[in-house]
Amino acid sequence: MGSAPQPGRQHGTLTEAPMRLGVPRTTGEDHRIVAVTPDAARRLTELGYDVLVEPGAGDGARLGAHEYVAAGARVAGRDDVWSADVVVALHAPGPAELDLLRPGAVLVAQLAPATDPELLADLAARGVTALALDAVPRISRAQSLDVLSALSNVAGYRAIVEAAEEFGGMFTGQVTAAGTTPPARVFVIGAGVAGLAAIGTAASLGADVHAFDVRPEAADQIESLGARVVRAADATQQVSADGYASALTTDQEAAALRTYAEQTARADVVVTTALVRGTAPTTVTREMVDAMKPGSVIVDLAASGGGNCELTVPGERVVTARGVVVLGYTDLPARLPQHTSRLVGTVVAGVVALITPGQDGRPVLDLDDPVVRGMTVTTGGQVLWPPPPVQVSAAPTEPPPEAAPPVGPRASAQRHRQRRVVLAALGGVLAGLLIAASPPELVGHYTVFALAVVVGFYVISNVTHALHTPLMAQTNAISGIIMVGALLQIGDPSPVVTTLAVVAAALAGVNVFGGFLVTRRMLGMFHRDEPSRSGGGR
C-alpha cells in the first residue's frame, strides 16, 4: 500500500507496516568495518525498524552479537538479512547479494553511481530503491550524512601513522645533550577532510607541516591547524556548483606541478589527497619521486582512484631504487575499525532517520528534499542519476549585469595593500597633528601608547592559531586591569575623565565576560564524553 502524495511534492510511502532492516557482514578489504554499530542499531529500533544483523558482522570492530541483542536487534542469517525490506551495507552488493534483494526493497550503501552505471541499471530493473551514501550533496545541512568525509577523516589520520612507521626518524625536533635534530618536513597536497586530518595529526606530532590546496579559502583552515600555507596564485581556483573541486586548466595544472616539484624535493613525508569525482589526477610525477631524499615517504590517499603519484600501485607498498617508499593502501579506514564503524554507523542512522520522518518504521522518499534527491539513484524502476545540480554556499554566484568584472587574486591583494598604506599615512598625519596640539606632558604618554600598539600588533599577528585560546586568557587579564583602573577614575572631578572611565569600564567588562564565554566554548570542543556502556561507541 502507499500513501497519497502531498500536493506539489514527489512523495511516496514505500510500505505501511514497520520494516525489517538488514545489516549484512562487510566483505573484502573493509571486512572489519560494520555499517551499523549497537548504538546505531538502538537508534534504528527507536525509529520503528526490526533490525536484523548477520552473525559476525561486528567481529572485526570487536562488537559482539550480545551487544546488538542488548540494543534491541536480532541476529539472523545472511539470506534473511539481504532479503529484508531495508538493507544497509557499507559497499554495493555483489551478484549473489543482488539476487537476494527483493523487489521494492530499499538499499542504503556506497554505490559509486558516477562510475558504475551497470549496477544502477540492474538495481532499477529489480525494482530496488537505492540510496547512495557516497552521493550526498555538499551542502551544510548534509554534512553529518557524508560518509565519505567520515572515512576520509580516518584515512588522513591513519596516513600519518603509516608514514611515521615507515619514516626513519622522529617527526618532532629534539634538543638533547648529544645535539639537536630537526623536525620532519611534511607536505600535504589538498586540504579537504583527509588533508586536514593529516595536517592536524602531523602537526600534533611536532612535524614542520606545509600544505597546498587549489582553493584559496582553504588557507585559513590550514593555518588554524598550525601548518604553513604553500601559495601558488596561478594554480588557485573556485569550487564548482556542486561543492566539489573542479578539474584544473592546463595553465593551472602546470603551475601546481611546479609547486609540487619544489615542495616534494624538500619534504620527508608527502601526503596526496586529490580526488575529483572518483578520479585521481597526477600530482607527483616519476621525476618528482626521483628528486626526493632517500628514505622519504609518500602516502597516496587517492590510490582508490588510480593514485596521485605515478608510481602508486593501489593496495601495495612500493620502494623505489632511491629508497623512496610509496604507500598506496586503500584500506586505511579499515585499519581503525572501531572508530570507523562508529562514524559510519552514525551516518547510516542519520540517513535512515531522514527518510523515516514519522519514526514509525515506514521510510518515505521526499524527492523535493535536495539531500534525499541527491542520494536517491534508483526508484520505481527508474535510474535517477545524475541528480539536478545543487547550489552551495562555496560556489561563486553570478554577478549582476551592471556589476564590475571580477578582480583576480593579485589585483585584489594589490588594492588591499594600497588601502592599508593610505590609511596608515592618514593615521600618521592625524597622530602628528594630535601630538602637536597636545600639552608637552602628554607627548610621553602618546609615545608609550604608540609603541604599545606596534608591539602588540606584531606579537598578536605572529601567534599561531593553536595558541589563540591561552592568548585570549591573557587578554582577559589585561582587560581586567583596564577595568580596575577605570573604576578607580570614576568620580573624578573632571566630567571628561569620568565619562571616559565609565566607557572604559563598560568596554573592558564586555571584553572580559565575552572572552571567558568564548574561551569556555573553545575548550568545550576538546571535552570528551563518557564512553557508552553498550560498547558501540568505543
Instruction: Please list the active-site residues.
Output: 138, 143, 146, 149, 244
Instruction: Tell me the helix, strand and coil percentages in the chain, rounded to 5.
Output: 45, 15, 40
355 to 341, 359, 365, 436: CA distances (angstroms): 21, 9, 6, 72
The helix/strand/coil state of 51 is strand
> Which amino acid makes up residue 149?
S
CA-to-CA distance for 440 and 362, rounded, in angstroms?
82
CA atoms within 13 A on the CB side of 221: 17
Please name the residues in contact with 331: beta carbons below 8 A apart, sequence gap of 6 or more: 29, 30, 315
Q: Report which residue type is found at 164.
A: A
C-alpha cell at 285: 610525477
For 460, the 3-state DSSP assignment is helix
- The pair phi, psi for residue 526, each rounded to 5°, is -100, 10
Burial 412-423 (b: 16+ CB within 10 A, else e): eeeeeeeeeeee
Q: Which three cell numbers stand for residue 254?
A: 602546470
Q: How many CA atoms lie within 13 A of 37 on its CB side?
A: 26
- By three-state DSSP, how is residue 509 classified? helix
β-partners of residue 211 are 188, 229
